[in-house]
């Protein structure tokens, strides 16, 4: 099963670091966060990666050309420019020709790390027989809020200002029917597609109670840097 990783955003909240580098190439320790993420998926046997590029796409081409030795010889990393201004759903839609040959695929953001059990996530998705599964986590309430009952997402609400509860942690699995919910480049995945999946009872939440951390701000990066020097929860033993 392949993994699609969104890598096209401008990362404005990490400025000035993102003035010279796209956010997924910003380092945690001595390697970029995207490398930590790919190696985590690799540890579960994932071999095919599709990176949806946009902002500073050429930097990814240079980095992965120069650092192919970081990955298994069996790992294939496909770098696809999905446009500078394309939104999250549109970036996925632009990969339809490559991805729709698979029945399902992992999908996540290129700026977040976790110790979520991907085997359990996949088994959960298969058991529920739905189009989408989102990993639900419990950090600060500045992300998409999930209204969950019996593991079914009843309502998806993107980035509330004051709500508290389960949030969208990325680390999705989608069946290929997700493409029926995406219109064009202007589609924001976290709005109509996920909202409509929830309305159609086709979106379930895999509740993850352990480590999850995104890298939206300099403070987030500092947290990850400190963890990398200590227990590094996303590095599988």
Handedness of CA 229, 231, 236, 237 (dihedral sign): positive
Distance CA 146, CA 153 (A): 6
Per-residue pLDDT tens over the stretch 148-186:
777 887 766 665 544 457 889 999 999 999 999 999 999
- Among all chains, which residue has been given the structure tokens 């390697």? 31
> What is the architecture, at CATH level 2, of domain 3-228?
Alpha-Beta Complex (3.90)
The confidence score (pLDDT) of residue 12 equals: 84
DSSP state of 31: E
Distance CA 22, CA 89 (A): 19
CB 128 within 8 Å of CB 229: no
pLDDT tens digits for the chain (237 residues)?
A: 999 999 999 888 888 878 889 999 999 999 999 999 999 999 999 999 999 999 999 999 999 999 988 998 899 999 999 999 999 999 999 999 999 999 999 999 999 999 999 999 999 999 999 999 999 998 654 555 566 777 887 766 665 544 457 889 999 999 999 999 999 999 999 999 999 999 999 999 999 999 999 998 898 999 899 999 988 899 876
The confidence score (pLDDT) of residue 202 equals: 98
pTM assigned to the model = 0.88
The confidence score (pLDDT) of residue 163 equals: 46
Report the run of H or E that residue 40 belongs to, with start and end. Answer: helix 33-42
Sequential DSSP letters for 183-204: -STT--TTTHHHHHHHHTT-EE
The confidence score (pLDDT) of residue 4 equals: 98
Rounded to the nearest 5°, which phi and psi values hold at 178? -55, -30
Give the domain ranges of the chain: 3-228
- Beta-strand (E) ranges in the chain? 3-7, 27-28, 31-32, 48-53, 76-81, 104-109, 112-114, 132-137, 145-149, 152-157, 167-168, 172-175, 203-207, 212-214
Distance CA 233, CA 107 (A): 20
């Amino acid at each position: 099963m392949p993994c699609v990783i969104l890598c096209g955003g401008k990362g404005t909240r990490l400025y000035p670091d993102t003035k010279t580098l796209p956010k997924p190439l910003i380092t945690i320790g001595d390697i970029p966060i995207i490398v930590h993420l790919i190696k985590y998926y690799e540890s579960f046997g994932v071999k095919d990666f599709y990176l949806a590029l946009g902002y500073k796409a050429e930097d990814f081409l240079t980095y992965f050309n120069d650092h192919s030795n970081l990955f298994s010889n069996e790992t294939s990393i496909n770098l696809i420019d999905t446009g500078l201004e394309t939104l999250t759903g549109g970036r996925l839609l632009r990969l339809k020709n490559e991805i729709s040959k698979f029945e399902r695929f992992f999908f996540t953001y290129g700026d977040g790390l976790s110790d979520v059990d991907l085997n359990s996530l996949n088994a959960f998705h298969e058991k529920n027989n739905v189009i989408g599964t989102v990993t639900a986590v419990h950090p600060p309430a500045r992300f998409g809020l999930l209204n969950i009952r019996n593991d079914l997402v009843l309502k998806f609400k993107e980035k509330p200002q004051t709500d508290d509860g389960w949030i969208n942690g990325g680390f999705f699995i989608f069946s290929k029917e997700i493409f029926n919910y995406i219109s064009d480049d202007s589609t924001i995945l976290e709005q109509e597609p996920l909202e409509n999946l929830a309305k159609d009872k086709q979106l379930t939440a895999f509740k993850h109670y352990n480590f999850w951390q995104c890298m939206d701000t300099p403070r987030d990066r500092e947290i990850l840097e400190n963890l990398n020097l200590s227990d590094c929860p996303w590095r599988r033993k």
